[in-house]
Amino acid sequence: MAVALLLFRLPGGERQSPRAKWSTTVQLDDGRRGEPNNMTSGLARLGRKMLAGTAVLACLVLLLPSVSAQATQGAKVSKEVEEKVRAAGADDLLSVIVQTGSDPSQGHLARLRGRGGVVKIQHTSIHGYTARVPASQIEALAEDPEVEQVSYDSPVKAHMDVAYKAIRADAVYVASGGLLDGRGVGVALVDTGVQLHPDLVRPKGTPQVVEVEIVGHETGLADYYGHGTHVAGIINGNGYSSSDKLSYRTFKGIAPGALVISIRALSPDGTGYTSDIIAGIDWAVRNRSTYRIRVLNLSLGHPIYESYATDPLCRAVRAAYDAGIVVVVAAGNDGGVGSGFGTIDSPANEPSAVTVGAMDDSRTVTTTDDVLAWYSSRGPSLVDYVVKPDLVAPGTAIVSLRATGSYIDTTYHQFTLKLGDYKTDPKLALNDGVYYTLSGTSMAAPMVSGTAALMIQMDPTLNPATVKARLMKGAVKDDRLPFETGAGFLDVYGALAAGGFAKSALSPLAMLASDGNVYFQDTAVLWGDATWSLGSIWGRGKGNADGIIMSDVSASILQTYGAIWNNRGGPKSLLDNNQVTASGAIWTGTRSILPSTTGMVDNLGAVWGPRKN
Catalytic (active-site) positions: 191, 227, 442
The per-residue b/e assignment along 217-246, b for 16 or more CB within 10 angstroms, e otherwise, is: eeeebbbbbbbbbbbbbbbbbbbbbbeeee
Alpha helices (runs of H) in 328-463, residue ranges in sequence order? 407-411, 441-458
Q: In sequence order, what E strands does 12-144 have?
A: 93-100, 118-123, 128-134
Beta-sheet pairing, 210-213 with 128-134: unpaired
Query: What is the maximum alpha-carbon separation in the chain?
Result: 77
Sheet holding 550-551, edge to edge: 7-8, 573-576, 550-551
Q: Say how far apart CA 284 and CA 219 lie, in whole Å.
A: 20
Q: Which residues, listed in sequence order, are joined to residue 436 by a DSSP beta bridge?
A: 400, 416
Helices (H) and strands (E) counted in the chain, each on its own, are 20, 23
Report the candidate in 152, 154, 150, 153 with the shortest Cα–Cα distance to residue 100: 150
Question: If DSSP codes are grouped into helix, strand and coil, which group holds residue 46?
Answer: helix
How does DSSP classify residue 170? H
DSSP string, 413-448: GGGEEEGGGTB--GGGTTSEEEEEEE-SHHHHHHHH
Q: How far is CA 34 from the centre of its chain?
A: 24
Residue 95 β-bridge partners: 132
- Name which of 151, 133, 438 is nearest 270 in CA terms: 438
CA atoms within 13 A on the CB side of 391: 34
Q: How far apart are CA 29 and CA 513, in angstroms?
A: 22
Burial of 115 (0-12, 13-18, 19+ CB in 10 A): middle
Residue 451 CB: number of other CB atoms within 10 A?
34
Neighbours of 307 (CB within 10 A): 25
Cis status, amide bond into 508, omega within 30 of 0: no
Phi, psi of 134 (to 5 degrees): -55, 140
